[in-house]
């Protein structure tokens, strides 16, 4: 099977390409390299010893995308490509809706034109909004607190409505919680543009000396140590979840959502302590004011994915931090 991976040069996309190649799939990648580097794909091929096909294509470019389908017979699509900074989406909503939603519609139109109607979608726990209480389960009402989150809700709706209109369409909607970690080789990891907006890449850059200290946004939440609790999942476990979703597509399941998380939470300070164990040095931090919109506690119920996909998160927080440190210490400037 030849799998088209949109956004395949990105953090989760590149790890998924690696797992696909190792599992014997052919891989074709389209990525506009706005949030990613082609070097990640070179390393994927180096690690696996297997080739993939790369096209530097933007999903908004219908003609270029169509040419990819003409040149490469595609069996299914894994759709990662999207702008992904929640804060930026608040200041640039039209850019986010146009890129994420319109790009997805163009992708679906081209897929339909070529008779490809099986897709795995990179969704997010942000679709649960602020009011649902953990553990979060797939049949809870959807909401969002920023345009990035709403774009994910809208894209899920697109795939659901496509299946209603044409039952030949199948879409697995994977709602990720907080992906961290890196490939255990130390050759593949998260390489954010500029100053990281996520906790663990920020900690890693403090540990490697690129940033002076970590800012902890509030220590007065109703949690055991006062800091926010999140469900962190190793990116390799997450990547394997996409292979399990591809297998599920063979049963023509329709449009169906699954949480990919561990089902348990770690606080900010617990993550800091785990990273200190991994790197063998203290992580300086300062407590600052809370960020608007941060929930005290968020974690998944992964039982549906456990039951229906036979998928289970295997790697611990110590594994996640050790792999991030191996990546960051060996690649202090990322893929540069």
Catalytic annotation, residues: 148
Domain count of the fold of the chain: 1
The CA radius of gyration of the chain, in Å to the nearest whole number, is 19
Q: Give the DSSP H/E element, type plus range, for residue 321.
A: helix 317-330
- Residue at 150 is within a domain: yes
300 by DSSP, 3-state: which? strand
pLDDT for the residue 104 = 98
- Residue at 157 is within a domain: yes
- Residue at 295 is within a domain: no
pLDDT for the residue 287 = 98
pLDDT for the residue 22 = 98
Our CA angle for 194, 272, 16, nearest 5°, is 60
Our CA angle for 299, 265, 293, nearest 5°, is 60
Domain that holds residue 54: 2-182+232-262
- Residue at 304 is within a domain: no
pLDDT in tens, the chain (336 residues): 999 999 999 999 999 999 999 999 999 999 999 999 999 999 999 999 999 999 999 999 999 999 999 999 999 999 999 999 998 999 999 999 999 999 999 999 999 999 999 999 999 999 999 999 999 999 999 999 999 999 999 999 999 999 999 999 999 999 999 999 999 999 999 999 888 999 999 999 999 999 999 999 999 999 999 999 999 999 999 999 999 999 999 999 999 999 999 999 999 999 999 999 999 999 999 999 998 889 999 999 999 999 999 999 999 999 999 999 999 999 999 998
pLDDT for the residue 172 = 98
- Residue at 111 is within a domain: yes
Measured between alpha carbons, how far is 127 from 125 in angstroms, rounded to an integer? 5
**CATH code of the domain covering residue 163:** 3.40.50.720
Burial class (CB in 10 A: 0-12, 13-18, 19+), 279: buried
- Residue at 98 is within a domain: yes
pLDDT for the residue 292 = 86
**Parallel, antiparallel or unpaired: strands 118-124 and 178-180:** unpaired
Measured between alpha carbons, how far is 270 from 300 in angstroms, rounded to an integer? 18
**Rounded alpha-carbon distances, angstroms, from residue 76 to 93, 158, 165, 173:** 30, 17, 19, 14
Q: Give the DSSP H/E element, type plus range, for residue 121.
A: strand 118-124
pLDDT for the residue 293 = 83
- Residue at 290 is within a domain: no
Q: Which 8-state DSSP code applies to residue 133?
A: P
- Residue at 270 is within a domain: no
């Amino acid at each position: 099977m030849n799998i088209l991976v949109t956004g395949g040069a990105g953090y989760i996309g590149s790890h998924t390409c690696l797992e696909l190649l190792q599992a014997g799939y052919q891989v074709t990648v389209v990525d506009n390299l706005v949030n990613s580097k082609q070097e990640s794909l070179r390393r994927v091929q180096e690690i696996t010893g297997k080739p993939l096909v790369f096209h530097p294509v933007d999903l908004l470019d219908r003609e270029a995308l169509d040419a990819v389908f003409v040149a490469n017979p595609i069996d299914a699509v894994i759709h990662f490509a999207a702008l992904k900074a929640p804060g930026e989406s608040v200041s640039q909503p039209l850019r986010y809706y146009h890129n994420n939603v319109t790009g997805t519609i163009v992708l679906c139109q081209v897929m339909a034109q070529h008779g490809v109607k099986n897709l795995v979608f990179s969704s997010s726990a942000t679709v649960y909004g602020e009011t649902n209480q953990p553990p979060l389960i797939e049949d809870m009402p959807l909401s969002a607190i920023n345009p990035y989150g709403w774009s994910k809700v809208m894209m899920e709706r697109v795939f659901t409505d496509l299946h209603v209109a044409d039952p030949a369409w199948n879409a697995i909607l994977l709602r990720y919680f907080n992906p961290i970690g890196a490939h255990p080789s130390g050759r593949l990891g998260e390489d954010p543009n500029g100053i990281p907006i996520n906790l663990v890449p920020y900690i890693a850059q403090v540990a490697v000396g690129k940033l002076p200290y970590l800012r902890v946004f509030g220590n007065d939440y109703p949690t055991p140590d006062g800091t926010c609790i999140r469900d962190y999942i190793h990116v390799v476990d997450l990547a394997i979840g996409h292979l399990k979703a591809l297998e599920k597509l063979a049963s023509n399941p329709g449009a169906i959502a699954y949480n990919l998380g561990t089902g348990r939470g770690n606080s900010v300070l617990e993550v800091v302590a785990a990273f200190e164990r991994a790197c063998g040095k203290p992580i300086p931090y300062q407590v600052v004011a809370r960020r608007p919109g941060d929930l005290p506690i968020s974690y998944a119920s992964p039982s549906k994915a456990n039951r229906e996909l036979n998928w289970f998160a295997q790697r611990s927080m110590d594994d996640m931090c050790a792999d991030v440190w191996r990546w960051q210490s060996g690649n202090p400037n990322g893929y540069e």
